[in-house]
Amino acid sequence: MKKNRYPFATIVLLVLFAGNGFINKQTEPWRPDQLMEPKDLAAIINDPNAAKPIIINIGPAGRIKDAVDIGPAKDKENLKKLKTLLSEEKKDKNIVIYCGCCPFQNCPNIRPAFDLLNKMKFTNHKLLNMPHNLKADWINFDYPMQPKS
C-alpha cells in the first residue's frame, strides 16, 4: 500500500476549496428542483383541466388565486396551523408554499415552513421561486391573484 506523502497539503487544499465555495454545501432546506417558477404555477392556476396543488401563503403578502392563507410561518402558531392543515393529506400531495414579503435571503417565513414539510415527510412539495417579492415576481407579471373582498 502506497502512503500519501502529502497528507497535510491535501487537507490544506480541501479547506481552501471549501472556504472558496468549490465544495458545495446545501444550506437551504429545499433542493433546486423543489423551486417552482411563478409562470409554471400561473399556468396551472389558469388551466381549468390541470391538477391543482394546495397553494399556501405562509407570509404577510397578498394572496395568490386559490391560495390558503396561513399567516407568517415565523410565528409558531401559524406553523401549527400549517401542520394542522396538512395533517390529513397524503405524503405525495402536490403542495406549493410561498411568502413574497421580501428577498429569499431575508425571508423569515420560508425556511420554517419548508423545514416543517420536510419533517412531515412530504415528497412533492415546492417553494414558489420569488427571489425578490410577490409584487416583482408575481403581480408585475399579471399572474392571478385572489379577488379583493
- List, for residues 137-147, the tens digit of each pLDDT value: 999 999 999 98
- Judged against a pLDDT cut of 90, whether residue 121 lies above it is answered with yes
First vs last Cα of the chain: how many Å apart? 75
Residue recorded with cell 479547506: 15
47: left (phi over 0), alpha (psi -120 to 50) or beta: beta
51: left (phi over 0), alpha (psi -120 to 50) or beta: beta
- Judged against a pLDDT cut of 90, whether residue 10 lies above it is answered with no
Q: Specify the CATH number for the domain of residue 49.
A: 3.40.250.10
What letters, b where the CB count within 10 A reaches 16 and e where it falls short, cover 119-149?
Answer: eeebeebbbbbbeebbeebbbeeebeeeeee
79 within a domain of the structure (yes/no): yes
109 within a domain of the structure (yes/no): yes
| Cα–Cα distance, 32 to 82 (Å, whole number) | 23
Tell me if 99 sits within 8 A of 59, measured CB to CB.
Answer: yes
6 within a domain of the structure (yes/no): no
pTM over 0.85: no
Q: Please provide residue 97's backbone torsions phi and psi, each rounded to the nearest 5 degrees.
A: -110, 155
- Judged against a pLDDT cut of 50, whether residue 47 lies above it is answered with yes
Q: Where are the alpha helices (DSSP H) in the chain?
A: 7-19, 38-46, 76-86, 110-119, 134-137
Q: Average pLDDT of 3-29?
A: 56
102 within a domain of the structure (yes/no): yes
Tell me if 50 sits within 8 A of 139, measured CB to CB.
Answer: no
63 within a domain of the structure (yes/no): yes
State the cell numbers at 13: 487544499
122 within a domain of the structure (yes/no): yes
State the cell numbers at 102: 421580501
| Range of the structural domain that residue 54 is part of | 26-141
78 within a domain of the structure (yes/no): yes
11 within a domain of the structure (yes/no): no
- Number of domains the chain is built from: 1
Band of residue 20 on the pLDDT scale cut at 50, 70, 90: very low
Tens of pLDDT along 53-74?
999 999 997 899 999 999 999 9
